Amino acid sequence: MQNSNRNLAEVRAVIFDYGEVLCHRPSPQEMAQLAGFFGIAPEKFGVFWDRNRGPFDRGDLSADVYWTMLAEDAGVKLTAEELKAVCELDMAMWSHVNGEMVEWARRLASSGKKIGVLSNMHPDMVAHCRREFSWLSHFDHLTFSGEVRLIKPEPEIYEHALRGLGVEAAEALFLDDRERNIEAARVLGIHAVHMRSPQQLHEDLRAAGFPILPPG
């Protein structure tokens, strides 16, 4: 873990990404089903997925527009029924909550640390999470790109999260599954760990001397 020489005893707040941190990665079957609507091989679908995802997650594009643009890039046309099914599947496949991470967040809060969420998430998914996940109420502050109209790795969205939690950069630990988001946090002076697996996160935090460890 980079920045391991920094004193994690100073950390007053832990900030969680949502996708692949507080929730599990979609299953291969779900990804294949989604890619199948567009006639794209699952292993190539990520290129199409990412092409306009930033504006979608920022709230610049509606779900209908985003998925229609993806379909056009793939050379297909979705019916209204297919478009509805795609939107529903997209939300369902990102709703497999990682209960162990949520419980760890609760333990952190019980120990006196602040907890927050900082996630790139389009407005429809934000509304879905706020409606369906009562555990979000345990977090001190939630920063969603679709609400603040900023996206990681833009520095302003990290600063928004820090202000919301009332902590300085050096007092925060950020967890994310994407290296570019981790690097952007570190530039601002935030402690950050690239989460690739629960076991790796546990070992990185243990090696850095963090006092309350996640399951690993």
Separation between Cα atoms, residue 96 and residue 44, nearest integer Å: 23
Query: Hey, what domains does the chain have and what are their CATH numbers?
Result: 8-25+96-207 (3.40.50.1000), 28-93 (no CATH)
> What's the pLDDT at 117?
98
Q: What is the mean predicted confidence (pLDDT) over 25-40?
A: 97
172 and 11 Cβ atoms separated by less than 8 Å: yes
> What's the pLDDT at 6?
56
> What's the pLDDT at 8?
87
Residues of the chain with pLDDT > 90, as a percent, come to: 94
Residue 3 pLDDT > 70: no
The average confidence (pLDDT) of the chain is 95
SS3 193: strand
Name the residue with higher pLDDT: 4 or 159: 159
Quote the radius of gyration of the chain (alpha carbons, Å).
18
> What's the pLDDT at 5?
34
Using N-to-C axis directions, what is the helix angle for 123-132 and 80-93, rounded to 10°?
50
Residue 4 pLDDT > 50: no
70 and 11 Cβ atoms separated by less than 8 Å: no
75 and 68 Cβ atoms separated by less than 8 Å: no
Residue 2 pLDDT > 90: no
Residue 157 pLDDT > 80: yes
Q: What is the mean predicted confidence (pLDDT) over 164-181?
A: 97
SS3 115: strand
> What's the pLDDT at 9?
80
